[in-house]
Amino acid sequence: MRLNDRVVATTDSPISTAYDLLDLLPDGGGLLDLAQAAPRYPAAPEVVAHVARVARDALGGTYTDVPGLPKLREAFAAELSRDYAGTLGPANVVVTAGCNQAFALAVSAVAGPGDEVIVGLPYYFDHDMWLRANGIVPVYLEPGPGLVPRAEDAAALVTARTRAITLVTPGNPTGVTVDPAGIAAFAEVARRHDVALLLDETYRSFRDTTGPAHDLFADPAWQGTVVSLHSFSKSLAIPGYRVGALVASPEFNRQVCKLLDCVAVCAPRIGQEAAWAGLTRADAWRTARAGELAQQRRWLAEAMADRPGGFELLSVGGFFAWLRHPFARPTEDVVRDLVVEQRLLLLPGTAFEPADRGTLRVSVSNADRAAIAALAERLGRAGGRSTQ
């Protein structure tokens, strides 16, 4: 049969490609896996107990309304109103099957083949893959000092074909967080040019501050510009339940629900129930887990301070650390060698950038203190090789 040329030309999942490297090992013993971002602990007991009750309920496997369970939409709108000092209601929330689906639906609501979307570098690979597979042109925004993207640089990239600006904060893969003033500046650029600001806040619970991530929801005009994307996978340790949310104006959400009805009808009920339980019954648990991850980031920064093996820590935040390796050879080869020789699995920076800049992503969420010490030790051994 004939296939869609754009899909065929799109890269395979970098996660799948990375795990294919494990076929090079005769066994999986001693592997230090810091590739995929996933919590290393189970969901909160309150979530597990609620999911068990729902699973036993006669209606536990039924559809929900297309935009999601009313109680979940109400709970999430209330949490955002509290955390952002804004006023949001259930009509602002559409529940999705993860944040990836939220992004795909939002992009499809604003852009089509030949349109442009500005994407900060380094990008989250699934964003770039989705745009390309749908014939939408990603226009890359180079970061400023400290790998922080700047609104004035994005403004210079806007053309008549621009439909959206995508901003991920805290970043994936860098962990870099854009401060509220920086986010406001991006929103102003989007408003001025009548394009959407697609603000991916998957890792908002893992910032180094408890203050609001931004002030946009306090401005009643936010609904004309901002589409905020969220995930419950990381903060509630339920990645397999596939539940996220899209936050926008009711009119924008109406368009999104047309698409959602076509691709999934609704997000899985069991995931929505798990998210509701987590939002309403596990607040202290969420705070404790975020504190543990903050400690892991500090341990990693300490472990990398002396640049073991010549590997340089460029940034650390949220779930991730972003490294530069010391080798002149292609980064894909470096990643393969780390697997084979050091039993260390990381993601190559080429999964997040259109060119090889000698970078690697570390998922800090996967590592306790012992694993972080092992990471530094194995990088040190790897750096003992020739840099050619």
Tens digit of pLDDT for each residue in 46-96? 999 999 999 999 999 999 999 999 999 999 999 999 999 999 999 999 999
Which of helix, strand or coil describes residue 92? Answer: helix
Angle between helices 99-110 and 250-263 (to 10 degrees): 110
In this predicted model, what pLDDT tens digit does every residue of 190-244 receive, in sequence order? 999 999 999 999 999 999 998 999 999 999 999 999 999 999 999 999 999 999 9
Domain 5-42+285-382 has CATH 3.40.50.300: no
Residue position matching structure tokens 């609104």: 151
**Sequence ranges of the chain with CATH classification 3.90.1150.10:** 5-42+285-382
User: Would the pTM count as exceeding 0.85?
Assistant: yes
CA-to-CA separations, 197 to 60, 180, 191, 280, 305, in angstroms, rounded? 36, 14, 8, 29, 36
Please name the CATH architecture into which domain 45-282 falls. 3-Layer(aba) Sandwich (3.40)
**Sequence ranges of the chain with CATH classification 3.40.640.10:** 45-282
Residues of the chain with pLDDT under 50: 386-388
Residue position matching structure tokens 């490294």: 323
What is the predicted pLDDT for the residue at 388? 36
